[in-house]
Structure formats: C-alpha cells, structure tokens
Structure 1
Amino acid sequence: MEPVYSPVIAFARGVFALQGLRFTIVGDENVPTSGGAVMVINHIGYMDFTYAGLAALKSGRLVRFMAKDSVFRHPVSGPLMRGMHHIPVDRTAGATSYRAAVDALRAGEIVGVFPEATISRSFELKAFKSGAARMARDARVPIIPVVIWGSQRVWTKGHPKRLGRTNIPISIAVGEPIAVPLGSDPEQVTVEYKAVMQHLLDVLRSTYEPLTGADLKFLPAAMGGTAPTLAEATRLDDAEFAERQRKADARRADERTDRDD
C-alpha cells in the first residue's frame, strides 16, 4: 500500500469501470513477485501506461514508468508522478534519466519502458530503441515483454479521445521473463524481445473482436484497416519532429535576440 500510487490505481479502476472498459489480461503470472525487471510495452495510445500497470497487480507489484519530464512539471500531474516514484526523462540529459532507471532496477523495482518512444500511428511495432536492453543488462534484471491491443480506440494520436462510456475491450498479454546476461549485445536482445512482442501482438489481434466501419481507422493497413502504413506513419512522425525542431530553433533564436537587445 503506497500513499499516492494505491489511491491513484483505485481511482483509475473506477474510471475504467465507468467507461465500461473490458480488460482481458493473459500471462500476468509472468510478472515476478519480487526483484527488478524492465517491463517493455508497445505504444498505440495515450493511456497505455495506465493499462499496462494492471498487468503487474496480480503479482502485487507497482510499475515505475519512465515519462517525459514535462509531465513532472505540470502542477497537477507533477506531484502525482513524483508521489508514484515514476522516472522523469529529460531528453537533453539522458544519462541522468538512465542512471535513475538503473538505480531503481537495482533497488528491486519494475521499470516500465516504451521502446518505440512515441505512439505508433500505424498500430504496428515501430523501430525499437535499445535503451531498455541496456538497462536490463547493466542492472542484471530480466525483460518482461507486454503488449496491448484496443487502447488505440480510446485515445490515440491524430484521433479524438473517446473517454465516455464506450465499452471498449482492451487486451493485454505478458510474455515470459527474458534474461539479459552481463555482456549481452543490447541490439541483439532488442531484436529478440521485439520478435516475442510481435508474436504476442499477433495472438491478441487474432482473438480480438473484428473492427468494422468507422473503427477501421484503428486497424493496421496490413490487416485491411485504414490506418497509415508503417512507412507512411514514419514520414508523418519525421515531419512532426522536424516541425517541433524548427519551432524550438526559432524560439531559441528569439531568446538570443531579446538578450542581445
């Protein structure tokens, strides 16, 4: 029982019930009841971290998620994130965030990571970054692969949020722990656990209710849906990143001009 995290979980589950969300969780016995682990999760919706944490409850565990530091600066979410001992990620000082995550793992925590870094507009697995594998290797803890399907129908990038009573089913699958011995190649480990996650995702999709009509926008193009292909989604992401970078550069230039004046 934690003074902040436990009430937040209870509140969230109440909200999920009001929304009529129907969760199916398989493999949650694979979450270790003690010791550190890196939980790696696919990313298809804004609420994924709130759903993925449910997979650890059967084992009596709480997941400390890595999240962008701006969330910790918000007057409402900031105190909650700090109270739940989540880990801020400052992209300008990545080494600090990495050390904090490894320290948490060595202290016996489960650290939640989205190796795709951003939401997949295609709802397929994007390229994975190798940071999760490096953390697991350096902390000498296993990787726990987790996949989610259905969360994109609640709230995802490029589509209006649907936070009312929708009765949307959400499926979660947890794979067996993957050992990451000291000396492992993080790139190879990443390839291996991504393949496990792809298999788990394929199984979830095969048993999920068929998506039709307007919901085809939440289905990958390769499955007959109208979501962007992985290549198209990558181009959209690259364009979005370039625009953010342009605005950031312009803002810095304006700040320099103001100082010079």
Structure 2
Amino acid sequence: MARWILRMLGWKLEFDGFPTLQGVAIVYPHTSNWDFPIGILAKWGLGIPAKFWAKDSLFKFPVFGAWLRWVGGLPIDRSSPKGVVGDMVEVFEQYKRSGRLLWLGLAPEGTRSLTPGWRSGFYQVALKANVPLVLVKFDWRRRTFSLVDFYQLTGRVDEDYAHMAAVFEGAEGFRIQQMSPVQPWTGNAFSVQSVSLKDNS
C-alpha cells in the first residue's frame, strides 16, 4: 500500500539492502513538515524497521505517543548524564549482542530550518558504536528516496564530511532555501550530549 501511494504521488524508492544488521541512516535534506509523511511511507514501502529520535513531550499524548512508538519513534529527554549519544551506543551494543536488526534514521540538520551545518549526534553515535552510515537522498526535485551509499566513518571529520557532501551533491529539499550545508556545526542550541534516550521497546 505504501509503495502504491508513493507511486501515485510520483515518488520512486531506491534500495538494494543493508550490508550489516545495525547502522545509522542519515536522511538529507530535511526542509519541510512534508518530509515526515513521505519518509514514513518510504520506510514502510521499503520494509525497513528503522527507529528515529523524537521529543519526549510528543509521547505524553496517549494515542499519538503510542502511534509514534509504533512507527519507530524513540523519545529523548534531558535526564541522563550519558546523554542520548551514550544511551544510543548502549542500545546498539545490546542489538549487536543479540544479533537483531537496528537502523537509526536521523535528519543530520536536526531541524527543518536553515542552520550553519549539521549537528553532531549522528556522527558521534555511528563512530562510538562502530556502525556504518547509510546516506539517504531525499530529493524532492526528482521525487526519489534513495539509499545511495554505505560509509564507515574514519573519525577524520573533514574527510568524512567531504565524502558526504560529494554523495549528497545535487539533492534538493522541498524548500531549497532552507537546505543546510553539509558541514559540521558545533554552535547548535540543542546539544545531543545533554539529552537522554528512553528505549522501552
């Protein structure tokens, strides 16, 4: 059904499978509220049981919170000294030990608005958990949702971002003027180090 809806909307999915059971999927660019429903349809259409971070407050509404968990949402708050990165690394270790599939899908900008660059959460999680990235092009001009590249971070920030920038070149968001550049941004107001992950799954 999800694939049929996307086809009717003019969207095409491109995916050849995951190389490992665990990893971090970064979906770029994220510029509009419309990205969420299309992204969820793409997730269902591809049959990917991916998780994603969402604000803790969104889960306090009984019906909406239950639905958000059902579609893959993981609530975050500001209660853990380890932060969401440390908690998420532990979750990945648990899934590795049990041999279960876990892919965390994130918008690296962390917001729909224009920012000076990308937040560091995805990078820290993938590097510390030693899991690969999958780079996902969310291209509104071509109407394609493509898992185009798998990449193991080196820890050399400039080199890693140069690779990602080359892969994402040409992708266009729903609002082009709100596309954040593919570069690290350390001066963000929302630090992923200061929040905690609540995984009750």
TM over 0.5: yes
1:44 corresponds in structure 2 to 31
Percent identity among equivalent residues? Answer: 21
Q: Name the SS of the counterpart of 2:143 in structure 1.
A: strand
Q: Which has the higher helix share?
A: 1
What RMSD over aligned residues (CA atoms) do the two structures have, in Å?
A: 3.7
- CA distance, structure 2, for counterparts of residue 197 and residue 18 of structure 1: 24
Cα distance between partner residues in 1 of 2:39 and 2:179: 25
Match of 2:144 among 156, 167, 171: 171
- Per the alignment, residue 162 of structure 2 pairs with 192
- Asked if the contact 1:37/1:136 (under 8 Å) is kept, the reply is yes
User: For 1:34 and 1:19, how far apart are their aligned partners in 2?
Assistant: 28
Residue identity in the other structure for 1:25: L
Structure 2 partner of 1:69: 56
Query: Is 1:81 the counterpart of 2:71 in the alignment?
Result: no
Structure 1 residues 109 and 229 mapped into 2: Cα distance closer, same or farther (>3 Å)? Answer: closer
2: CA distance, partners of 1:72 / 1:189: 38
Give the structure-2-normalised TM-score: 0.67
Structure 1 or 2, whichever has the larger Rg, is 1
Matched, 1:116 2:109: yes
**What is the distance in 2 between the residues matched to 1:25 and 1:61?**
12
Number of residue-to-residue matches in the alignment: 176
Answer whether contact 1:101 1:111 (CA < 8 A) is retained: no
Q: Distance in 2 between matches of 1:55 and 1:97?
A: 26
Deviations 1:168-210 (A, max 9, x none): x7322222210125xx24x3365235314432xx0x55xx9xx
The runs of at least 4 aligned residues of structure 1 exceeding 6 Å deviation read 228-231
Cα contact 1:33–1:61 (8 A) shared by 2:
no
TM-score normalised according to structure 1 size:
0.54
* Residue in structure 2 matched with residue 24 of structure 1 by the alignment: 12
Q: Are 2:85 and 2:124, in contact at CA under 8 Å, matched by a contact in 1?
A: no
Distance 1:116 1:91, change over 3 A: farther
Assess if the C-alpha contact under 8 Å between 1:104 and 1:111 holds in 2: no
- Following superposition, the deviation at residue 46 of structure 1 comes to 1.7
Change in 2 beyond 3 A, CA 1:196/1:18: closer
Q: Return the offset for 1:70.
A: 1.8
Q: Which amino acid aligns with 2:134?
A: I
C-alpha separation in 2, matches of 1:82 and 1:35 = 21
Instruction: Give, in whole Å, the separation in 2 of the partners of 1:90 and 1:44.
Output: 24
Q: Unaligned 5+ residue runs, structure 1? A: 1-9, 152-168, 209-217, 221-226, 232-237, 242-261
- Determine the C-alpha separation between the residues in 2 that align with 1:74 and 1:65: 18
CA distance in 1, matches of 2:70, 2:57: 16
Tell which has more relative contact order, 1 or 2 (C-alpha 8 A, sep 6+): 2
Partner Cα separation in structure 2 for residue 114 and residue 94 of structure 1: 24
